[in-house]
Chain A
Amino acid sequence: MLARTVSASARRALRPQLGFRTDFRSSVVLPMAQKRNASQSAPSWLIDVFESPPVVFAEQTLTKIHELSGLPWWASIVISTIGIRVFVTFPLAIYSEANLAKLASLEPEAREINQILKEDTVLAKHKFNLTEQQATKLYRINLKKQMGLLIERNNCHPAKSFFLSLFQIPVWVSLSFALRDMAFAGKYGVYEYMSMSTEGIFWAKNLIHPDPFLILPVMTAVMNLTNTELYQLKSNLPRSKFLKIFHNFSRVASVIVIPVGLVMPSAACLYWFCSASTATGQQLILLSPRFRRLVRIPPSPKEDPTPYSTIWSNFQSRILRRGK
């Protein structure tokens, strides 16, 4: 109710001056523009983030997509999210999966090398009169060296996948900050901000305000939880203590979206929801052996031939606690 009255009064105040986009902020005092001024007295690092090149680039791209496509804001946010997923994140994820598959397929060779090294160590121990300690140390050094060479030869260091997965974080952060900045009548005058206030989805028409029914944050939290649980359910291997801690940590992190969604503009929440649900789709499709062959991920011994039934049975036994 409040949201609707504010945006209506803002629109009324702006109507006579729609033609002059450059002069907006000095001539018209809006409720939200006052809010923006308040945020300008916010900590300087926040201003720095808003004016940093990635955030500015994200804002310009979003604005361009909105202007060129002529779609309402909610649709352009959805389309840009899907576009980023399809053209940036998904190829990187495929490459990273291929990297891990290559690494896993090296296991027989690694076992062979290990066997040879063990035999060599026994020989060296007798030949050079080494103590048990010295021999073990020698064996470890050589094993590390040989494994390093093997990985270098096949160009499949596991840290590559880690670095590639880290790449999503700056993308996510800069898009979230860009949307938040635009929802507070940011750098490009009030035009985007105005159109954002009317081009929302059914229950949240005004994208610059937080979702009044909390539907978007809750759906985002649900999708985040789905991602976390899927990650855990897709493997049958026993989990280490670190993985368990990590899993619980990400469960908490997925639910934190709900209180944050109370204050974030629903534009950013919509982006989070789209990003989380495309991530689920990506995770599911990357499990399928047929798709993996299609994008030329090499077959590996760790690959599950029936991933979806594994997930289903794990879901029943671990979450519903049926069977077994």
Chain B
Amino acid sequence: MNVREVGEVGRAEEEYKKNVEWIPCMRTSFLTGISSGLGAGILFFLFTSRSSQSVSVGATVNLVVTLGRYFQCRWDRSQSAFEARKMKHALTTMSELRGTEEDPELERRGD
């Protein structure tokens, strides 16, 4: 690894820290949180006419939904990453074993 590559990796990391869009799930969770917070605040206001309380309701809903969406999204991501890893392992094993005596296909076919 030469100097230039190291520099680029460093810059990418900096960008990563700066840019919210680069963090997986962050953008969707922010957007969902903001819109549902606004919606909940306005709805609460329409039903009760309490201005200060509806602001706190909106803020709370925003916080809860942002965090909830983020964790849910990361959970889904990790699940699918796990599935992908299992699939990759299965595919590599299959390619390694194909044509050898340990080929599971042989057993399955009953040859």
Contact = CB atoms under 8 A, between A and B. Distances in A.
| B45, B47, B48, B49, most chain A CB atoms within 10 A | B49
A160 interface: yes
Interface in A121-172: 148, 151-152, 154-157, 159-160, 163-164
B45 A152 contact: no
B106 to A, nearest CB: 43
Contacts of B50: 152
B46 A163 contact: yes
Nearest to A160: B46
A157 B49 contact: yes
B46 A152 contact: no
A159 B54 CA distance: 13
B103 to A, nearest CB: 42
B49 A156 contact: yes
A163 B49 contact: no
Contacts of A154: 49
A110 to B, nearest CB: 15
Nearest to B50: A152
A164 to B, nearest CB: 7
A152 B49 contact: yes
- Interface residues of chain A: helix, strand, loop or mixed (majority): helix
B49 A164 contact: no
A151 B52 CA distance: 13
Interface residues of A, number: 11
Interface in A162-196: 163-164
A151 B45 contact: no
B48 A155 contact: yes
Contacts of B72: none
A154 B45 CA distance: 13
Interface in B33-80: 42, 45-51
B48 A152 contact: yes
B45 A163 contact: yes
Interface string A270-296: 000000000000000000000000000
Contacts of B46: 160, 163-164
Nearest to A164: B46
Nearest to A153: B49
B48 A159 contact: no
A272 B61 CA distance: 36
A53 to B, nearest CB: 11
B40 to A, nearest CB: 13
A152 B50 CA distance: 6
Interface in A202-253: none
A160 B50 CA distance: 10
Nearest to B46: A160
Contacts of B51: 148, 157, 159
B57 to A, nearest CB: 14
B49 A155 contact: yes
A151 B48 CA distance: 10
Contacts of A157: 45, 49, 51
Contacts of A151: 49
Nearest to B42: A163
A40 to B, nearest CB: 23
22 contacts: A148-B51, A151-B49, A152-B48, A152-B49, A152-B50, A154-B49, A155-B47, A155-B48, A155-B49, A156-B49, A157-B45, A157-B49, A157-B51, A159-B45, A159-B51, A160-B45, A160-B46, A160-B49, A163-B42, A163-B45, A163-B46, A164-B46
Interface of A: 148, 151-152, 154-157, 159-160, 163-164
Interface of B: 42, 45-51
In the A-B complex, list the 3 residue pairs whose CB atoms are closest, starting with the nearest: A157-B49, A155-B49, A152-B49
